[in-house]
Structure formats: structure tokens, C-alpha cells
Structure 1
Amino acid sequence: MVNILHIDSSPRGERSHSRELSKEFVSAWRAAHPEDAIAYRDLGHHPVPHVDEAWIAASFSPPETHTPELTEALKISNQLVNEFLAADRYVFGVPMYNFNIPSTFKAYIDQIVRPNRTFAMDAQGLRGLVQGKKAVIITARGSDFSATSPYAPYDFQEPYLRTIFGFIGLTDIQFINANSLNEGDARSKSLAQARVEIQNLIDQW
């Protein structure tokens, strides 16, 4: 049995393309692998808090030195990290906002990128501790940010996500990017292509 963590980050509801596509991926996966366990977190409608000074102090100090205030500061983060580490695979639905990710998803990333939990700093240098896992990231973009597009240099979304997840050791990442969603006829073609990529990935993931 495989444990999958499915996360949506769009604040939109039924009008969200990233939600629609991530749901289709998970539904297709469940149909093909009914024995797998799927946990769901909706960051768009139920955001997690941003890190604050107490969180930073607690995160970068030994647990045995924590005051009740510092212990409480990491309570939500510990829950999120435990949930993240319990999964074998991840399905993320992420819209592009201002060439990058929504603040809801950035807040989540800041909560789970934790010293001695998801990465280590020691005599061996910086090491990612999240090993042997896979992720698929389904993005929704208003314009065309594909490699041959003149807007490609403005895509800070995929490079950032590859970098930050790679930092914690998660390097087996597949992207399904739905581009041109604000461009009329191109939208239908892009969504159709994303659905083809979803099915292809279901068959080999």
C-alpha cells in the first residue's frame, strides 16, 4: 500500500483549474490503486500560519531547551511535518500567481522545511532527509510559460519548487503544467494535453 498526500493551494473553488486537474489525477489513481491511502489538505481554503519569531527560535534550538511558548510555536509545524513524512508520494495542485506560487503554498513550505526534520546541517554539510519519495506537481498558468515561449524566463514557479523540494531531498518530481488558461481556444487544448499527461503518468508513476 502507498500513502499519498494530496494538497491543493488555490483559494478558488469550482473555478480552479489546478484543483480540477489534481482531483482528476487522484481520482484516476484511486480507481487504478484502490488499496492506497490518500490524505488531503486544502491550503487554499484552510491556510496554515506563516512562521513567526517564536517559530524560528524553536526551530533552531534543541527541543529540550524549549519553553512552553516555543513548544506551542511548533505544534502546527510538527503536525504538518509528520503528515508530510508519513506519505510516500505527493500530488500538489498549484496555480501560478505573479510568476510563482500562492502565499498559501509558500506558508506551508516554510512550515515543513525544518532543520533536523526534513534537512540536516552537520559535518557532512547540508543534507535533505526526505528520501525515496515521489511527487507530481500540477500547475495552472494564465499564459504560456513553456520552454519555447517568450515568457519562459518569467517562470519562477517550477524552478523554485524543484529547488526547495530538492533541498529537502525530494528530487523525483514530475510537472504537469497547464499553460495559456486565459487565452481562449488555447485553454481547451492545454487542459486536454494536461489530461493526457495525467493518464500517461498514472500508467507509469
Structure 2
Amino acid sequence: MSSILLITSSPRGAASHSTRVATELANKLQAKTPGAKIVTRDLASNPLPHIDADYASGIYTPVESRSVQQQNVVGVSDAVVDELFTADAVVISTGMINFNISSTLKAWIDHIARAGRTFSYGAEGPKGLVTGKKVYLVIASGGVYSDGPAAAFDHATPYLKTALGFLGMTDVEVIRIEGVAMGPEAEAKAISSALDHTDDLALAA
């Protein structure tokens, strides 16, 4: 891989477990491929605008006919789509917030899901156009959602896999950092386990 896109979205800054583990994974992947570069998009410190009327109308308006506002917001979307297409691997991190992803990460999904650019419709139905990429999802949660009674409350993992798969990104690995609110020992164990997992994934890359 020559380009790794690192998407972080936690509002917790330096205290974020998902950002830490995702960043370490991106660094390990970079070390595996000399010359590879990491492109970081921090959605917490530099959030994308949530889609609005200018976006909804602008993406269907010819470029020469767009208003200034439409040009600006569609330009933001074009930039993140171009960034995605350029990447060979994508590392996406989020904390589980109210059983789902952060709103800033949802805005990123809304900007990259573009008919005619990242997916198309044809006689056989929808077709994802963002193909040939390895995706890593790093998801942190206070509780344990990978199995057990709370598993049904995890809407973050299935949503991300569904949305990304719709766009053509079906080769997805999930790294969980779970149970971090269950005391210092459980927190340390969750982080250590996630970092070990990133070691294995980097070796396999």
C-alpha cells in the first residue's frame, strides 16, 4: 500500500482509546511498506459540515450553475471522496456513542456516499465503486458488545460494515476496545488486547 487514510472521530482528544489504537495501527501498516504515507483526517477537531439544503441540491446541480454555497459544500464532499479513492488502506476509528458511531463520522459517511461517484445504479441494482481497499474499523466502547446480552445494542459495527460495503469496501477488519468503563484493570486489558490485534493485522497486511 502506498497511502493509508486515517479517519479519527473521538471528541476525547489525547484521552481517546480509539484514536490511539487506530493511529498505532496506521503507523504499523506504514512501517510494513517503506514509502507509504499516512493521510489523517481528524473529524473531531475539523468536523465536516452536516449535509444541508445546499448540499442536497448542489450535488444534482451542474457545476457552472451552482451557487457559492453549493460550490463550497460540494467542494468539501469532493475533497473527501478524492481522498478516499487515493487511499489503498483506510483506518476508521470511533467511540460507540449511544450505541452508534459519532455524529462527525456519520457526516463523513454522508459526504462520501455519492451517487455516480462512489456508487451507481444499474439494471442489476446498486454497485459500489470504491473497490480494492482494505478497511480497518477501530471501535471503543465502555461496555462489551461483541457478544453477550448487549450485542444487540451495537449499531455501530453493522452500520459501518453495511455503509462501507454498499460503496464497495467489503474487505473489513474490526478491532474492538471494549469494556473500558469496567474499571482500570478491564480498561488496560482491553487496550492491550486491541494493540495485540493490530500487531497481527499489520503482520498479515
Aligned-partner Cα distance in 2 for 1:14–1:64 = 40
Where has structure 1 moved over 6 Å in runs of 4 or more? none
Q: Superposition pairs for residues 134-145 of structure 1, below 5 Å?
A: 134-145=134-145
Q: How far has the Cα of 1:191 moved from its partner?
A: 1.2
Could you say what the CA RMSD is over the residues aligned between the two structures, in angstroms?
1.4
Q: Superposition pairs for residues 163-178 of structure 1, below 5 Å?
A: 163-178=162-177
Q: How far has the Cα of 1:62 moved from its partner?
A: 5.3
Partner of 2:120: 120
Q: Superposition pairs for residues 67-82 of structure 1, below 5 Å?
A: 67-69=66-68, 70-82=70-82
1:32 aligns with 2:65: no
Q: How far has the Cα of 1:173 moved from its partner?
A: 0.5
Calculate the TM-score normalised by the size of structure 1: 0.94
Q: How far has the Cα of 1:31 moved from its partner?
A: 2.6
Aligned-partner Cα distance in 2 for 1:17–1:100 = 16
Gaps of 5+ in 2: none
Aligned-partner Cα distance in 2 for 1:131–1:49 = 26
Gaps of 5+ in 1: none
Q: Superposition pairs for residues 9-24 of structure 1, below 5 Å?
A: 9-24=9-24
Calculate the TM-score normalised by the size of structure 2: 0.94
8 A Cα contact 2:4 2:26, kept in partner: no
The C-alpha deviation readout for 1:116-164, integer Å capped at 9, x for no partner, is 11011233321111111110011110001112x2100000010000000
Partner of 1:86: 86
Aligned-partner Cα distance in 2 for 1:24–1:2 = 17
Q: Number of residue pairs matched?
A: 203
1:192 aligns with 2:188: no
Identity over aligned residues, as a percent? 37
Aligned-partner Cα distance in 2 for 1:42–1:145 = 25
Aligned-partner Cα distance in 1 for 2:15–2:7 = 17
